[in-house]
């Protein structure tokens, strides 16, 4: 596949195997994420989409197989280095629940910067700029419990992108939203990612969300099937 003209993938998963207890989630899944691309991973519930994202983001260690990012084997890095990587190079957005309920929108977005040692006032200033980019102006002092689903997801996106990551992992970012709010969140994500050259690994079961991506890979029973062989029939 790789010829001299195309650079190697930014993040590469090879033959990942992972089981939750006795339930297999991944059975030899391989996937490449190229720098700056938006890649949608689709598949039915239970096909292993979230587990694949967790493995590729270094949140979960696969039982077998490898995850390579920037020449490093993520599956072999110590937890401390992985945390650091998730803070500096990766941004993560889930369906919900990633905001700290007691912190305001502004402080939630500023948190990754504070963790990196940025002074509070500078961190809040940058967080404010990012909230504004995601159209969340005027909700800086709201806490997650006081936000609508769309507002919370835009805050989460701002938090995922505030450190200027190379990869954003989004697991059903529109799953809890109505179609209009979901559209606004996806438009904001796609725009910002293209503008800043951030690669996005987008997990979704919704074709309209997947259509924001440049490319689509489908999971079926724990393995990645390419776009052409998506509709594998179960015997």
Partner 1 sequence: MIGMSTRHILLGLLASGPSHGYDLKRRHDERFPQARPLAYGQVYTTLQRLVRDGLAEIEGTDSDGGPERTVYRTTETGSRELAHWAAEIAPPAPFVTNEIFAKVVVAILSGGDPAAYLRAQRAAHMRRMRELTAVKSAPGADLATVLSADFALNHLDADLRWMTTTAARLTTLTAEVDAA
Partner 2 sequence: MTADLRLAWHLVRGSDRHEWWRIALTGVGALLATGLALGAVVLASLRGHHAIPVADGLLDDPGERAGVVAALLLLMIPVLGFLGQSARLGAVHRDRRLAGLRLAGATPWQVRRIAAAETGPACLAGSAVATVLCALLVVRTGDHSSVWTWTGIAVVAVGMPVVGTLTGVLALRRVVASPLGTVRRVRPRTRPGLMFFGAVALFLGALFASYLSLDRRPGTVPTGPMLVVSGLALAGAAALWLVGAAARLTGRLLAARTGSPAVLIAAERLRDDPWAAARTHTVVLLVTVVGTGFVGIRRTLLEVLGSGKHVSEDLSFYTTGLDLTAAAIGVGLVITLSGLAVGTAESLATRRRTLAVQAAVGVPRAVLGRALLLETALPLAPGVLVAGIGGAAIGTGYASLAEGGGWSTPWTALLVPVAVYAASLLAAATALPLLHRSVRPAELRYA
* 3-class SS of residue 46: coil
Query: Contact with partner 2 (CB under 8 A): which of 50, 174, 209, 218?
Result: 50
Binding residues for partner 2 restricted to 146-185, rule: CB under 8 A: 146, 159-160
- Cβ 112 to partner 1, closest distance in Å? 26
Task: From the list partner 2, partner 1, none, pick the one residue 59 interacts with, judged by a Cβ distance below 5 to 8 Å according to partner type.
Answer: partner 2
Question: Is residue 172 part of the contact set for partner 1 (CB under 8 A)?
Answer: no
The least CB distance from residue 51 to partner 2, in Å, is 8
Does 233 bind partner 1 (CB under 8 A)? Our answer is yes
12 vs 115, beta carbon nearer partner 2: 115
Query: 184-192 long-range CB contacts below 8 Å, 24 or more apart?
Result: 184/135, 184/150, 184/154, 185/150, 185/153, 185/154, 185/157, 186/212, 187/212, 188/133, 188/134, 188/135, 188/154, 188/157, 189/93, 189/157, 190/38, 192/133, 192/134, 192/157, 192/161
Query: Measured from the CB of residue 79, what is the shortest distance to partner 1 in angstroms?
Result: 38
Q: Choose from partner 1, partner 2, none: what does 90 bind? Cβ within 5-8 Å by kind.
A: partner 2
Q: Can residue 141 be called a binding residue for partner 2 (CB under 8 A)? A: no
Q: Quick one: 109 exposed, middle or buried, by C-beta within 10 A (0-12, 13-18, 19+)?
A: buried
86 binding partner 2? (CB under 8 A): yes
> Considering CB distances under 5 to 8 angstroms, the limit depending on partner class, which of partner 2, partner 1, none binds residue 101?
partner 2
Give first-to-last CA distance, the chain, whole Å: 30
């Amino acid at each position: 596949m790789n010829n001299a003209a195309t650079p190697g993938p930014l993040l590469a998963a090879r033959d990942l195997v992972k089981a939750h207890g006795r339930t297999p989630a991944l059975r030899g899944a391989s996937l490449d994420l190229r720098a700056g691309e938006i890649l949608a991973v689709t598949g039915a519930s239970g096909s292993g989409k979230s587990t694949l994202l967790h493995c590729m983001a270094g949140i979960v260690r696969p039982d077998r197989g490898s995850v390579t990012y920037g020449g490093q084997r993520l599956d072999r890095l110590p937890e401390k280095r992985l945390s650091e990587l998730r803070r500096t190079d990766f941004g993560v957005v889930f369906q919900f629940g990633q905001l700290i309920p007691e912190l305001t929108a502004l402080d939630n977005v500023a948190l990754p910067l504070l963790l990196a040692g940025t002074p509070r006032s500078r961190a809040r200033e940058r967080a404010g700029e990012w909230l504004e980019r995601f159209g969340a102006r005027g909700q800086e002092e709201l806490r997650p419990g006081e936000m609508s689903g769309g507002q919370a997801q835009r805050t989460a996106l701002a938090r995922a992108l505030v450190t200027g990551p190379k990869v954003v992992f989004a697991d059903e970012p529109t799953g809890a939203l109505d179609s209009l709010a979901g559209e606004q969140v996806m438009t904001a994500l796609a725009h910002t990612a293209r503008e800043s050259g951030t690669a996005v690994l987008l997990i979704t079961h919704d074709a309209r969300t997947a259509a924001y991506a440049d490319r689509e890979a489908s999971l079926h029973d724990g393995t990645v099937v390419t776009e052409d062989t998506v509709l594998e029939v179960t015997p």
